[in-house]
Chain A
Amino acid sequence: MSGRFSAHGQVAIVGYAQSPVVRHADKTLGVLATETARQAIADAGLEVGQVDGFVSATLFPTAGAHAAEDGVSIVTPNWLAANLGVDPSYAAGFQGMGQITGSVSMAVNALASGAADYIVLHRALHNPPGRYHENPMTQAGGSQQWTVPQGYFGPLVMIALLYNEYVQRYGATREAMAQVVVEARKNGARLPWSYWHDRPLTAEEYLAAPLINDPICRFDCDIPVDGVAAFILTSAERARDLPHRPVYVAGYASGAPSRARLPLHWPLDDVQEVGAAMAQRLWASSGISPAEVDLPQVYDGFSPFVYLWMEALGLCGEGEAHRLVLDGGIDADRPGTLPVLSGGGALGNGRMHGIPQMLECYLQLSGRAGDRQRSASVGVACHSSPHFGGAVVYTSEPS
């Protein structure tokens, strides 16, 4: 990759739909996805028959003993196309980390190359019956032999080690993290589709929660849900004829750690080093500088990622995010702050992966945020960790 992305401003989001985010939907995930996709297509002013591209990521992010079944616990692009009655010219799934930003990059590439004209990008997330991560295994082979026999299991432990490294290095407190989670839940409480609609959290409630894997408590983790979101993407040229104001993709980047690690081991140095390189590629590809971003939407599936993304994007110095947060620096209701969780994030919506970040960028930059409307023209939507996931820069103007 060198210099500005040649598809800069050439692809736009032109419509969307977001299902209610609930603990357990009263219909199958496949039905929810099909209905949500139809809604998004109609929202973009299109007919189902005009859509010729399908992109998604199907990771079922549970460590538990749950099967991934198409149409039930996951929904692949091909499944969705078939159930909408479309024979697509392009259908593909993203396999890496940063499922939402990675899916966007595939959709952009397909549209910019002419492989498809109108793409449905969807994400369907499922909360299976029973405990989400619980796994009754009594034997550990393959990659799990390096973690499971010593009780090192599931994503919380991975995040706990990473977060404690941050806490020890920079002196971050639970009081600061309480402000992160309170901010996410405050903004999520204002979203009619959110699982946490009308249910904000207080700092006292956060601080009273027992630790699960020190220093992580349950409020640091997004809650597993059933939910589907779909976006329609097309070329900037086609977007001009559609009803809503387009939101353009200026560039994207993803992280790619080269150092071999144990499974589930995300040391802080890796996150910072590889994350900084990812951010450099992001700014180079988009032709945007961090100072121009007025709508940063950081990933928060686990709350420590808020600090790590703020720092990776250069919104503050390394190790400084927790202090900025403690000083009210991410309060989206105060002028002059960094509204990094104005869309509620995953903590304020439910486990929708990077959808809340992308959706907030779309709603605000297209002027469709209703009474939450902010004045913003450059958004960044992040997903997963800065060193494994990625970010997309969105703009309200094509260049």
Chain B
Amino acid sequence: MSELRRPVPVPDEASAPYWEAAARHRLALPRCSRCARLCLPPSSICPSCHSTEPDFSWEELEGRGQVRSWTVIRQSFLPGFADEVPFVLVDVELDVQEELRMIARLLDGPDAPLGVGSRVQLGFEDLPGGAAVPAFELEADS
């Protein structure tokens, strides 16, 4: 047993809506009012149109997408994950916007059948203290 717990996110002004939504098991991302593009991570300047006054509005999204890459973590440099290995991380392109990528754990475990293009949907991992971290699950019918 590791004596260190898994690291929990520390929200800041820019990220608070993201973590607040995650705690409710929802994915929320900021959308730029100038170019209407979403971004992750949240930023003070829109990474798509580079506006310094993007007036982002937070939007709840479905969180489906396809796997672009993955890795099985068999050894973690974070002692708080010592009891979690092996686990899978997936690099997912969300359906909602081209090249909008999220990297998160795949909750199906290291033996789940995975390929480039595998369909996934959002899931969540609850952490002690009320926080939840976005994760993915293989779509049931894929």
Chain A residues proximal to chain B, CB less than 8 Å? 63-64, 131, 133-154, 156-157, 160-162, 164-165, 168-169, 210-216, 259-263, 265, 267-268
Contacts and interface: CB of A to CB of B under 8 A. Distances in A.
7 contacts: A146-B40, A150-B103, A161-B69, A211-B74, A212-B74, A267-B69, A268-B69
Contacts of A136: 4, 78-80
B113 interface: no
B41 A143 contact: yes
Contacts of A142: 12
Nearest to A154: B77
Interface string B47-90: 10000000000000000000011111111111111001001010
Interface in B78-136: 78-81, 84, 87, 89, 91, 99, 101-105, 115-116, 125, 127, 131, 133-135
Nearest to A213: B71
A218 B6 CA distance: 24
Contacts of A146: 40-41
Given A260-B43, A261-B101, A262-B40, A149 B69 contact: no
Contacts of A260: 39, 43, 47
A141 B12 contact: yes
A161 B78 contact: no
B36 interface: no
Contacts of B41: 143, 146, 262-263
A160 B71 contact: yes
A150 B71 contact: no
A193 to B, nearest CB: 29
Max chain A Cβ within 10 angstroms of own Cβ: one of B12, B69, B72, B79: B69
Contacts of B75: 212-213
Contacts of B11: 145
Contacts of B72: 211, 213-214
Given A141-B10, A165-B69, A267-B68, A213 B74 contact: yes
Interface in B9-25: 9-12, 15, 19
B77 A140 contact: no
A153 B77 contact: yes
A161 B39 CA distance: 21
Contact of B89 (A64, A135, A161, A259): A161
Interface of B: 4-12, 15, 19, 39-41, 43, 47, 68-81, 84, 87, 89, 91, 99, 101-105, 115-116, 125, 127, 131, 133-135
B116 A149 contact: no
Nearest to B105: A150
A148 B5 CA distance: 12
Nearest to B39: A260
B4 A138 contact: yes
A215 B74 CA distance: 11
A152 B105 CA distance: 9
A143 B40 CA distance: 11
A214 B69 CA distance: 11
A265 B78 CA distance: 18
B10 A168 contact: no
B73 to A, nearest CB: 6
Max chain A Cβ within 10 angstroms of own Cβ: one of B89, B103, B105, B131: B103
Q: 8 closest Cβ contacts across the A-B interface?
A: A260-B47, A141-B10, A160-B71, A165-B69, A133-B77, A214-B72, A145-B9, A149-B133
A134 B70 CA distance: 22
Given A136-B4, A161-B91, A162-B69, 12 more contacts: A131-B77, A138-B5, A144-B7, A145-B12, A148-B7, A150-B133, A156-B77, A165-B116, A168-B115, A211-B74, A262-B103, A267-B69
B104 A150 contact: yes
B8 A139 contact: yes
Contacts of A214: 71-72, 74
A64 B78 CA distance: 9
Contact of B10 (A140, A150, A169): A140
B77 A135 contact: yes
Contacts of B73: 151, 157, 213
Contacts of A139: 7-10
Max chain B Cβ within 10 angstroms of own Cβ: one of A133, A148, A169, A261: A148
Contact of A161 (B10, B76, B79, B103): B103
A141 B134 CA distance: 16
Contact of A152 (B19, B101, B103): B103
Contacts of A156: 77
B49 to A, nearest CB: 12
A261 to B, nearest CB: 7
Contact of B7 (A138, A160, A213): A138
A109 B75 CA distance: 43
A225 B57 CA distance: 48
